[in-house]
């Protein structure tokens, strides 16, 4: 392993091909690299270090040493909070370069990327404020003649393996790192092989902010060579994963070796329910962006549209017209939507749309690739679908909306819950009582009322059913990285 003590600036990520292990920027143990592709052009723009099991072991051992030596944990919660707040300041100070780097890596429009950078800074500020508010409780127990003083203590779980998805890589990394660090854990971060640049940049900012060496390590590479050994490693105490349900199940099995704690934010097939009294002038555009934002590459995207038959044609046509007006193009141009992240994802989305047509669905708008350079796909609405179709049942992770009608609320709620997923959803109506009643009946971790994209770092995110275990955001996120210890002592009477 060749090491360099110089933290690479963001621009040098294009040629460095290094990972962050124990505070040093190092090449892969094998010396291998892999291509970083600009999804807007399909061209290779950089190389990233292709990590191995040896790199994972080195990173985990570094994190374990940092934890056992209490390099981070010896700081008070307030002191850790100061460092985390400094990370937020550094993200904001570098927001333009980070946004451009992320747009280059995953194709999202610059305006969207900048917004995600702001949310990333919010993550560190919020959990900086929680770092000194992690505490247990005290009580007295036992009969009068034999009383005990008892208390609980909250302690960090230890070494956390954090595996993030490619759709918003820096923000996704902060959703795990910020609460884990607030709790006092040491971490090994594995970015997606599709999007490694900004998580590496974040590693540099963490060091610059004062996070001690070895507390955060970043290992790039592919799932079998990096993700699998990280999950199975006996010195990892906790795994937090964002990605597909299929891989989430593999992680559960791999984590069984030492029964490490696991939290999972997995797939979604979120439903947007539109009642006939909804304010359609306000709803149509937000319904459209509920699915099309970031080209549908958001786990909570509203990919199923359930509309009362009395307004079905009006809503579907309105969403389709909105979709047709969206400008799709390269991330640094003034566009609404960028490309899909890869050729593989483009092929996947295309297959779902062509498959739905073969099954009898009608394409209302879109349905095709745009151009022959990059991985652009038209915002697409399909109708005349039924619940048995793959386009309705499976997560596509692209700009494809499946629209169905219903006749009464019970039918709509049943259709919304007719899925193995339960990540998000929304209901659109002027009737407040009906809205809250439907929200309570939807088996999903988040429900918006007259909004689909709503929330923030304060609001927990996570799923029911096969959309995952545990929660990110809010005070619940810190609990995912803590153990509770009970201490009992006999009182001297």
Does residue 5 surpass a pLDDT of 50?
Answer: no
Residue 456 is predicted with a pLDDT of 92
User: Class of the 271-457 domain?
Assistant: alpha beta
Rounded to 5 degrees, what angle do the CA atoms 164, 168, 172 make? Answer: 40
Q: What is the pLDDT of residue 6?
A: 44
d(CA 388, CA 369): 25
Query: Is 13 a residue whose pLDDT tops 80?
Result: no
Check residue 15 and give its pLDDT. 63
Condensed to tens digits (0 to 9), the pLDDT of residues 197-233 reads 999 999 999 999 999 999 999 999 999 999 999 999 9
**pLDDT grade for 386, boundaries at 50, 70 and 90:** very high
| 194 is annotated as an active-site residue | no
CA distance linking residue 490 with residue 479, whole number of Å? 29
Using only C-alpha atoms, what is the Rg of the chain? Answer: 24
Which element (helix H / strand E) includes 77?
helix 77-93
Asked if 112 and 294 touch (Cβ cutoff 8 Å), the reply is yes
Greater confidence (247 vs 16) lies with 247
∠ CA 371-350-272, rounded to 5°: 110
212 closest CA partner among 85, 75, 61: 75
The answer for residues whose C-beta is within 8 angstroms of residue 79's C-beta and 6 or more apart is none
Mean pLDDT for the stretch of residues 124-131: 98
pLDDT band for position 454 (cuts 50, 70, 90): confident
Query: Fold identical between 3-266+468-486 and 271-457?
Result: no
Check if the beta carbon of residue 366 is closer than 8 Å to that of residue 323: yes
Enumerate the domain spans of the chain: 3-266+468-486, 271-457
Catalytic position from the list 265, 378, 472, 480: 265
- At 1 the pLDDT is 46
pLDDT in tens, 321-351: 999 999 999 999 999 999 999 999 999 999 9
Q: Is the pLDDT of residue 8 over 70?
A: no
pLDDT of residue 238: 98
Of the candidates 195, 191, 171, 190, which has an alpha carbon nearest to the alpha carbon of residue 341? 195
How much is the mean pLDDT over the chain?
95
Which residues, in sequence order, are CB contacts of 388 under 8 Å at separation 6+? none
Exposure string of 74-88, with b = 16+ CB inside 10 Å and e = fewer, is ebebeebbebbbbbb
> Which fold, 3-266+468-486?
Aldehyde Dehydrogenase; Chain A, domain 1 (3.40.605)
Pairing of strands 369-370, 362-365: unpaired
Closest CA to 124 of 199, 187, 178, 180: 178
The pTM of this model reads 0.95
Q: What secondary structure letter does DSSP report for 227? A: I
Q: How would you classify residue 62: left for phi > 0, otherwise alpha for psi between -120 and 50, otherwise beta?
A: alpha
The pLDDT tens digits of the residues spanning 111-127 come to 999 999 999 999 999 99
- What average pLDDT does the segment 463-481 reach? 97
Calculate mean pLDDT across residues 44-65: 97
User: What pairs with residue 35 in β-bridges?
Assistant: 47
């Amino acid at each position: 392993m060749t090491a360099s003590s110089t933290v690479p600036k963001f621009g040098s990520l294009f040629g460095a091909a290094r990972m962050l292990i124990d505070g040093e920027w190092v090449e892969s143990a094998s010396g291998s690299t892999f291509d970083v592709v600009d999804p807007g052009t399909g061209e290779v723009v950089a190389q990233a270090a292709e990590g191995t099991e040896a790199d994972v072991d080195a990173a985990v051992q570094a994190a374990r040493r940092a934890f056992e030596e209490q390099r981070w944990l010896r700081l008070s919660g307030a002191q850790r909070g100061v460092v985390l707040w400094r990370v937020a300041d550094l993200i904001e100070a570098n927001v333009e370069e980070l946004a451009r780097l992320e747009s280059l890596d995953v194709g999202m429009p610059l305006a969207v990327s900048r917004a995600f950078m702001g949310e990333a800074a919010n993550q560190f500020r919020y959990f900086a404020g929680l770092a000194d508010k992690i505490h247990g409780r005290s009580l007295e127990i036992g009969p009068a003649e034999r009383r005990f003083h008892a208390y609980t203590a909250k302690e960090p779980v230890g070494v956390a393996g954090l595996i993030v998805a490619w759709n918003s890589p820096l923000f996704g990394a902060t959703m795990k790192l910020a609460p884990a660090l607030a709790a006092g854990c040491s971490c090994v971060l594995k970015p997606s092989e599709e999007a490694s640049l900004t998580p590496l940049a974040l590693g540099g900012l963490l060091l610059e902010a004062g996070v001690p060496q070895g507390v955060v390590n970043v290992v790039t590479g592919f799932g079998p060579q990096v993700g699998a050994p990280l999950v199975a490693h006996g010195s990892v105490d906790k795994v937090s994963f964002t990605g597909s349900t299929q891989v989430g199940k593999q992680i559960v099995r791999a984590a069984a070796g030492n029964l490490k704690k696991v939290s999972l934010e997995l797939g979604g097939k979120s439903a947007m329910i539109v009642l006939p009294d909804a304010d359609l002038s306000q709803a149509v555009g937000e319904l459209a962006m509920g699915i099309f934002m970031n080209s549908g590459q958001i786990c909570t995207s509203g990919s199923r549209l359930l509309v009362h038959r009395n307004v079905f044609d009006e809503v579907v046509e309105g969403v389709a017209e909105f979709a047709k007006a969206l400008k799709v193009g390269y991330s640094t141009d003034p566009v609404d939507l960028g490309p899909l992240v890869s050729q593989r994802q483009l092929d996947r989305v295309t297959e779902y749309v062509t498959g739905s047509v073969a099954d009898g669905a009608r394409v209302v708008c879109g349905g095709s690739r745009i151009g022959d350079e990059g991985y652009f796909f038209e915002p697409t609405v399909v109708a005349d679908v039924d619940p048995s179709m793959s386009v309705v049942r499976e997560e596509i992770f692209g700009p494809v909306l499946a629209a169905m009608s219903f006749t009464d609320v019970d039918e709509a709620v049943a259709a919304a819950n007719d899925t193995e997923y339960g990540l998000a959803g929304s209901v659109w109506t002027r009737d407040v009582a009906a809205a809250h009643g439907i929200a309570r009946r939807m088996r999903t971790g988040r429900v918006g009322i007259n909004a689909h994209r709503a929330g923030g770092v304060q609001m927990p995110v996570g799923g029911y059913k096969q959309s995952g275990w545990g929660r990110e955001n809010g005070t619940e996120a810190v609990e995912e990285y803590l153990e509770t210890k009970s201490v009992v002592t006999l009182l001297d009477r």
